[in-house]
Amino acid sequence: MDEKKILRKEILNKRTDQLPAEIIAKSDKILALLKAFQPYQQARTVMVYLDFRGEVRTREIIKDLWAYGKKVIIPVTVLLEKKLLPVYLKDFGDLVEGTYGILEPKAETREIADPKAIDLVLVPGVAFDLKGNRLGYGAGFYDRFLPQLRPGVKKVALAFELQLVPKITPGPHDIPMDYIITEERIINCRLY
């Protein structure tokens, strides 16, 4: 088994071992830091993943964005084309189980967004280092999607402290994060 597969398994196990109450408490702390984060405050359209399998929870983030009249875009996985489709999310009631069991808007109600309309992207992942290198789930969906954004759009990873590792060796197509927000801090990856 290669180095990335071993690391992915180790971190996913640590994340899965957390109690639901721990995940909620840490996710609430991450939301509080996010709300104080200037790029989040200034963004009018934010792409947010819908959490699953012990990821940092995002439902409260989405509610917060809606409360301030901001537009929310979620990624929909198109498996055959190996790509993410940016789709507007207007209502939680519109969601159905999709690829990998991740919630996504019903096909008949989907409004596809232009990636250039996105002001900020909140990115999931398995592990991160302080330089913003990301270990995803291994399919490369985000690494193929992120280059479609406007230059300068901030890429922010949401992660628990237990997902931070000393070093991730990026591949040729891996796109680093600009910031990582954990339950304890906001990390500016450009400083490392």
Residues of each annotated binding site for ATP: 4-8, 134-142
For residue 176, give Cα distances in angstroms to 14, 22, 112, 129. 23, 27, 25, 10
* Total residue length of the chain: 192
Residues of each annotated binding site: 4-8, 50, 55, 134-142
Tokens of 109: 């109600």
Selection from 128, 140, 138 nearest residue 187 by Cα? 128
Q: How many CB atoms lie within 10 A of CB 66?
A: 15
Annotated binding residues for substrate, as ranges? 50, 55
22: CB partners within 8 A, 6+ apart: none
DSSP string, 73-121: EEEEEETTTTEEEEEE---GGGEEE-GGG-EEE-GGG--BPPGGG-SEE
Give which of 56, 53, 26, 171 is closest to 123, Cα–Cα.
56
Distance CA 6, CA 162 (A): 15
